[in-house]
Structure 1
Amino acid sequence: MSNNKRYLVVDAGNTRIKAAIFNDEEIIEIHHFANTELQQLKSFLIDTRYHGAILSSVRSAKETQWMLQLMPNALLFRIQAKLPIQLDYETPETLGADRLANAIAAFHIAQGNCVIIDVGTCIKFDFVAENGRYQGGSISPGIQLRYKSMNSFTAALPLINITSPAKLIGKTTVDCMHSGVIGGIQAEINQFILNYKTVYQDLSIFVTGGDAQHFDFESKNSIFVNENLTLFGLYITLKEHAN
């Protein structure tokens, strides 16, 4: 039976802030605030009524505290909080909040071996074992970082921003850069998926991140795509903390 309890989840990233209202594990409202819309965010937080709230923030301590003051009794998401999964990670203090929240969400859904592919500023693979222990993963540059590095560290290569599917063989320098970045990331993703499937036959795969839309994923019927995976992981943590 559904209930009317509303839970506020706020994910404050470097370039934007996402705020969602959950009820019974479903998002019933979602809002996005740019860095220039902090006054709108303030009004939203003041006006929103909720049963419980959680904040994940990579912002400065000053900005994070400002948001917490607008969210009375909110839980601040951090490694030290009560978490639904265990960490087998040698440097937990360096683990990004988004990676941890994604892992929590994926394991809650899969209840078994799962790998999360987050295609954003960086391309992150994270693995949670069937016993609910986060193991780690990999990080590599995303689309824009690869384009910018070629422009920054060479004298002749231009700065481009092309995300459409690429031809295997480029006929111009720009086309070659496009093929190398988009095709290279696609090959990287495909090979990592194959590597994980070789080791873990009973495996659930989750995909999230703003740039995931630019790539094809093999065996799509066995891959779960969820652009709000991080928010869901924060919500699950909030409910776990309340129990």
Structure 2
Amino acid sequence: MSSPSRNLVVDVGNSGIKAAVFSDDDLMLPVSRFRTGDWSAIDGMVTNLGVRNIIYSTVANVPSERWTDTWEKAGIGVYTLDRSKPLPFQSDYRTMDTLGQDRIAAVAGTVGRLHTARLIVDAGSCVTSDLVDRRDRYLGGNISPGVSMRLRSMHEFTARLPLVETGAAVDTVGRSTEQALLHGGQVGVVYEIEGLFGRLVNVHRDLQLVLTGGDASLLLPYFSIDVLSYPNLVLRGLNQILSTYVNK
């Protein structure tokens, strides 16, 4: 009986790197976080955990040939998320060449696990909302500012509104300027998502709301509809895509 394949998936964002090792479909260890460009730390995971395949997606920084050559010479498969290669889902998106790698990975992470239509919300620096039908066909989505971006912009683009930190929003409406900003910038994201969901569920009756991303736990308490919380969905999707590449 062959041993499970260990895959390293690396998500390079604007402010840092998230990396995880999967044994087939199982996350082996807690997700590791590094500063952007710290590929020596990634190499440590490769060496210490017996990684056989690597996939990375990036918006900002790619590993140098120093690292990719080292891994490939060790017999490790090294892949980057490539929109031109086969994906585990079909798409109606008109500009796949501009579709964000994190959005592609989030969609892939639900394939084979959810068998209904779903609205996948990734709450990070921006909030992305992506619609997939029950046949795993990607239909498109929306992008809007994330919580921190909303709070910061209200402060920076006005003369007197203060910068408020995220936190617990009390009552239904804000009873002070700080609370009003918090409700608008934080809970307002929830209202936006619920409004979109309410329109889409009229067409996709079996629609499921899926929530992931760094601000997911911040938003989760304020939803009035059922939410499937799915941490590390982008990383799981990268592992799913990597399996597709290796099998092809």
Note the alpha carbon deviations across 1:88-113, whole angstroms, 9 max, x for none: 11111111111011111113211342
**Take 1:83 and 1:242, find their aligned partners in 2: how far apart are those partners?**
12
Q: Could you tell me how far 1:22 is from its partner in structure 2? A: 1.2
With over 3 angstroms needed to count, the CA separation of the structure-2 counterparts of 1:26 and 1:143, relative to structure 1, is same
Name which of 166, 169, 174 aligns with 1:165: 169
1:32 aligns with 2:46: no
Q: Give the RMSD, CA atoms, in angstroms.
A: 2.3
Name which of 176, 182, 200 aligns with 2:180: 176
**Take 1:135 and 1:36, find their aligned partners in 2: how far apart are those partners?**
32
Name which of 214, 217, 225 aligns with 1:213: 217
- Structure 2 equivalent of residue 18 of structure 1: 18
**Take 1:65 and 1:148, find their aligned partners in 2: how far apart are those partners?**
38
Q: Could you tell me how far 1:47 is from its partner in structure 2? A: 3.5
Checking the alignment, whether the CA contact within 8 Å between 2:88 and 2:111 is kept in structure 1 is no
With over 3 angstroms needed to count, the CA separation of the structure-2 counterparts of 1:239 and 1:40, relative to structure 1, is closer
Deviates more, 1:164-173 or 1:112-121: 164-173
Name which of 196, 203, 206 aligns with 1:202: 206
**Take 1:108 and 1:126, find their aligned partners in 2: how far apart are those partners?**
17
Residues 86-165 of structure 1: pairs in structure 2 closer than 5 A: 86-165=90-169
Q: Could you tell me how far 1:66 is from its partner in structure 2? A: 5.7
**Take 1:106 and 1:201, find their aligned partners in 2: how far apart are those partners?**
18
Residue identity opposite 2:211 in structure 1: V
With over 3 angstroms needed to count, the CA separation of the structure-2 counterparts of 1:93 and 1:166, relative to structure 1, is farther
With over 3 angstroms needed to count, the CA separation of the structure-2 counterparts of 1:149 and 1:4, relative to structure 1, is same
1:58 aligns with 2:62: no
With over 3 angstroms needed to count, the CA separation of the structure-2 counterparts of 1:51 and 1:42, relative to structure 1, is closer
Task: Structure 2: state its 5+ residue gaps.
Answer: none
Residues 227-242 of structure 1: pairs in structure 2 closer than 5 A: 227-242=231-246
Residue identity opposite 2:109 in structure 1: A
**Take 1:159 and 1:65, find their aligned partners in 2: how far apart are those partners?**
42
Q: Could you tell me how far 1:239 is from its partner in structure 2? A: 1.1
Residue identity opposite 1:15 in structure 2: S
With over 3 angstroms needed to count, the CA separation of the structure-2 counterparts of 1:71 and 1:81, relative to structure 1, is farther
Checking the alignment, whether the CA contact within 8 Å between 1:8 and 1:20 is kept in structure 2 is yes
Residue identity opposite 1:163 in structure 2: G
| Secondary structure of residue in 2 paired with 1:103 | helix
With over 3 angstroms needed to count, the CA separation of the structure-2 counterparts of 1:70 and 1:85, relative to structure 1, is farther
| Secondary structure of residue in 2 paired with 1:11 | strand
- Structure 2 equivalent of residue 45 of structure 1: 46
**Take 2:13 and 2:69, find their aligned partners in 1: how far apart are those partners?**
18
Q: Could you tell me how far 1:2 is from its partner in structure 2? A: 8.9
Once the two structures are aligned, what percentage of the paired residues are identical? 32
- Structure 2 equivalent of residue 77 of structure 1: 81
Note the alpha carbon deviations across 1:121-156, whole angstroms, 9 max, x for none: 111110112333211111111111111111111111
Task: Structure 1: state its 5+ residue gaps.
Answer: none
Checking the alignment, whether the CA contact within 8 Å between 1:126 and 1:135 is kept in structure 2 is yes
With over 3 angstroms needed to count, the CA separation of the structure-2 counterparts of 1:124 and 1:2, relative to structure 1, is farther
TM-score, structure 1 normalization: 0.88
Deviates more, 1:105-114 or 1:14-23: 105-114
**Take 2:181 and 2:61, find their aligned partners in 1: how far apart are those partners?**
35
| Secondary structure of residue in 2 paired with 1:106 | coil
